[in-house]
Structure 1
Amino acid sequence: MKMQADDPLKRLKNRALYYLAKREYGFVELVNKIKPFATDELDLNLDSCYQIVEELKQKGLQSDYRFCESYINSKKRKFGLQKISYELKQKEIDDFLIEEFIEVLRGEEYESARMVWERKYSSLPSDLNEKNKQIKFMQNRGFTFDTIKKIIK
């Protein structure tokens, strides 16, 4: 049988550390992840969640920079920069940090788009309908229209 710490803040911190041990989380994402546990099971308020995550951030255990780097590396082969940027904004990552990483990847976008297109399609579109279908697929993946035009001439 597991021994639980009596202190609710310690239990909340342990829960946050458990999540961080599995993968990187953004600040707001981690707060949202531990919020149900804090409010429902421990009767703590949202401020406690922010306090715990801020403490982990100060100790270097939580980092938006590492999260951003990890997230982009996992998505860059499947999605375009627009979609990755949008998803990071949804996770409330700072725009400056997003732009810093996106700038580095701009040169790789064509290659990523080409690989995604080749996995899905074996040949260039034969008619306008097929061309529109391929363009829509690539746009849904978050690639810019200029990049798509270079691939689907």
Structure 2
Amino acid sequence: MTDSPTKIIRHKVTRLLARREQSLHELRKKLLESVDDKALIEEVLAQFSAKDIQSDLRYAEAVVRGAYRKGKGPSFIERSLAEHDIEYSLVATLIASDDFDWFELARAVKVKKYGEEAPEDWQAKQKQMRFLQYRGFYQDQINYAFE
């Protein structure tokens, strides 16, 4: 006897969430690879969300903490969470949290990559600034890193 599609979806979601937090968007995408019934997928995902087994908030918090530890700035985080359809107001609230000092992080990332000393010339400074911009820092945070 084969398992029902609902049971298969539930098991797959459970296995995925056991490994790490996942966004609804991410789970939906992975489930659609193996199950064709979109309505059933949405129903099961709604049940997991209602029981707080799956939470976009927890997922976003994990992404923000992980990116911060890796020296990524708020712009990088906003882009990566937007790809997962995480609500912008939630992302902005997490980034604005007092737990994170983006200015000091920008300085630490610059010092780790290029050292304490100021760049020799304008081109070297521009290169370092582009690096910080690539890492997702805003211009005021980048300017702070060079003060």
TM normalised by structure 1 equals 0.87
1:104 counterpart SS class: coil
Counterparts of residues 22-101 of structure 1 (less than 5 Å):
22-38=19-35, 44-77=36-69, 78-101=71-94
- Residues 101 and 5 of structure 1: is their aligned pair in 2 closer, same or farther, counting only changes over 3 Å? farther
Give the unaligned 5+ runs of structure 1: 39-43
**What is the deviation of 1:73?**
0.6
| Cα distance in 1, alignment partners of residues 134 and 49 from structure 2 | 34
1:132-153, Cα deviation, whole Å (9 max, x unpaired): 1001000001101111112124
Amino acid at match of 1:13: R
Q: Is the 8 A contact 1:25 1:64 kept in 2?
A: yes
Amino acid at match of 2:145: I
| Cα distance in 1, alignment partners of residues 86 and 100 from structure 2 | 22
TM normalised by structure 2 equals 0.91
Q: Is the 8 A contact 2:75 2:137 kept in 1?
A: yes
- Count residues with an aligned counterpart: 145
2:120 counterpart SS class: coil
| Cα distance in 1, alignment partners of residues 56 and 100 from structure 2 | 23
Runs of 4+ more than 2 Å apart:
none
- Residues 11 and 5 of structure 1: is their aligned pair in 2 closer, same or farther, counting only changes over 3 Å? farther
Q: Is the 8 A contact 1:24 1:66 kept in 2?
A: yes
Q: Is the 8 A contact 2:107 2:146 kept in 1?
A: no
**Aligned-residue RMSD, C-alpha:** 1.7
